[in-house]
Amino acid sequence: MSIGSAGSEFPRTGFLDRQRQEMQNLVGHLSVCLDNLSMGDGNSAEIRRAYFWKLNDLFEAAIVHFRCEEEWLAAVCYPFLAEHQMEHGHFIEKMSEALLLANEKPIDPTTVKYAAEWIGKHERKSDGNHAE
């Protein structure tokens, strides 16, 4: 579904796109941490700390981005807002769990894979449904 120019006064396109790009950048940073760890390149405690804070940044960036996007979708009366919010909620829940475990257990590479795949798929399919 395309909403067209509805709500065009809302600073949506560039702002939300920049937020999405920032989330992808953070996933890229997490991948670098994993690569460094797997290659034994650098101090593992430092890498783990960097990984934790990048994961924390991704979690916070996602919360802010989802809130902004949902506010915009509500403003333009997007008919599938509830479903979209549920998708966002699943991602936040997964990242929240990963963050809680990040200090207690070895880094789980599936978290980064999940985040990269979720963001890519969500952007192509769900966010693409309300893109201009």
Q: Which is nearer to Fe ion, 32 or 61 (CB)?
A: 61
Q: How many other CB atoms are there within 10 angstroms of residue 64's CB atom? A: 12
Residue nearest to Fe ion (CB): 127
Structure-block tokens of residue 59: 């979690």
Q: How far is CA 86 from CA 44, 81, 90, 91, 114, in A?
A: 36, 9, 6, 9, 17
Q: Which is nearer to Fe ion, 33 or 69 (CB)?
A: 69
x-marked contacts with Fe ion along 17-56 as a string, rule CB under 5 A: ----------------------------------------
Whether 23 and 122 have beta carbons less than 8 Å apart is answered as no
Shortest Cβ distance from residue 84 to Fe ion (Å)?
Answer: 6
Q: Which is nearer to Fe ion, 42 or 125 (CB)?
A: 125
Q: Which residue, 88, 87, 85, is CA-closest to 62?
A: 88
Residue the block writes with tokens 């949506």: 12
Select from 51, 59, 115, 127 the one that contacts Fe ion (CB under 5 A).
127
Binding positions for Fe ion, 50-89, rule CB under 5 A: 69
Q: Which is nearer to Fe ion, 39 or 82 (CB)?
A: 82
Q: Which residue, 27, 19, 95, 91, is CA-closest to 61?
A: 19
Residues near Fe ion (CB under 5 A) are 69, 127
